[in-house]
Amino acid sequence: MVERPLRGLTIVVTRPRDQAAKLAGLIEQAGGTALRFPLLDITAVADQAPLLEQVSRLAQFDIAIFVSPNAVHYGIAAIRASGEIPANLKIAAVGQGSATALLERGVRDVIAPTQRFDSEGLLALPELQRVSASRVMIFRGDGGRELLGDTLKARGATVEYATCYRRSKAHLDAAGLLAAEPDAITVTSSEALENLWNMLDDKGRAILRNIALFVPHPRIAGLAREQGWLEVLVTASGDDGMLSALITWAARTTG
């Protein structure tokens, strides 16, 4: 008999619509019901001209950093629309998800942290310590944390941001989420968590804060605890890390 450790559990997947398939599939393979509830919409920037102008100058740069799998998806597409990745360009990724996305697109020898999967983890690597006089292009969405760029500037690098996608709030009905009576919710960004919290009234928040919340980073967990969530579990990175944490929690909860 095939083991189905999430059988009978409804788990909310809040990743953007185009990125939810893998985690939802893993949950369903483990016997759970995956409720897709994308809290962010991800789209290409409307005006591609500035991005294409930037990637046309990429050979003048020493390092290109991709802050997320979305940055890889849209950034690499823009680069290859103009040519190929310059041979001498060093490629870095903030996390293993981004590094994997680069590998899937044929990009190897990626500089990426192996323990802490965030800007701080990347900045701690030797390759990002010695960047005086280096030119760095950071591929990211509209807005976001400035820590990476500000730290590299302080270390003597010239930094240019390449905005290659935009995030927006998804138009969702929180009543449908509450009606599903989920057992657990997965959230992979602070922005998404804020969107979820802001679409709820006090009654909805009182219900949701009692549901187990799974997040991949202590920073998101900190925000969740400030909001009042009672059970916040920090998982390993990536969809596999999320699934592993869900299975461990399910064994403890239902066993």
Higher pLDDT: 145 or 225? It is 225
In a domain, 3, yes or no: no
Residue 52 CB burial class (10 angstroms; 0-12, 13-18, ≥19) = middle
Dump pLDDT digits (tens) for 26-85.
Answer: 999 999 999 999 999 999 999 999 999 999 999 999 999 999 989 999 999 999 998 899
Query: Cα(56)–Cα(87) distance, rounded to whole angstroms?
Result: 14
Dump pLDDT digits (tens) for 119-163.
Answer: 899 999 999 999 999 999 999 998 777 899 999 999 999 999 999
Taking residues 82-111, report their average pLDDT: 92
**Judgement on whether residues 23 and 104 belong to the same structural domain of the protein:** no
Which pairs with CB-CB distance under 8 Å and at least 24 residues apart come from 174-179? 174/199, 174/200, 174/204, 177/12, 177/35, 177/37, 178/204, 178/207, 178/208
Report pLDDT for 255.
60
In a domain, 4, yes or no: no
Instruction: Find tokens 């897709």 and name the residue.
Output: 36
Report pLDDT for 233.
97
pTM: predicted TM-score of the whole model, two decimal places:
0.83
In a domain, 74, yes or no: yes
Report pLDDT for 171.
83
**Judgement on whether residues 84 and 111 belong to the same structural domain of the protein:** yes
Report pLDDT for 26.
96
Strands 40-44, 158-169: pairing kind: antiparallel
In a domain, 5, yes or no: no
CATH code at position 152: 3.40.50.10090
Instruction: Give the domain range for residue 221.
Output: 10-39+172-254
Partners of residue 13 on adjacent β-strands: 36, 186
Report pLDDT for 92.
97
Residue 213 CB burial class (10 angstroms; 0-12, 13-18, ≥19) = buried
**Judgement on whether residues 131 and 186 belong to the same structural domain of the protein:** no
**Judgement on whether residues 85 and 136 belong to the same structural domain of the protein:** yes
The number of domains in the chain is: 2
Report pLDDT for 1.
37
Dump pLDDT digits (tens) for 170-223.
Answer: 888 888 899 999 999 999 999 999 999 999 999 999 999 999 999 998 999 999
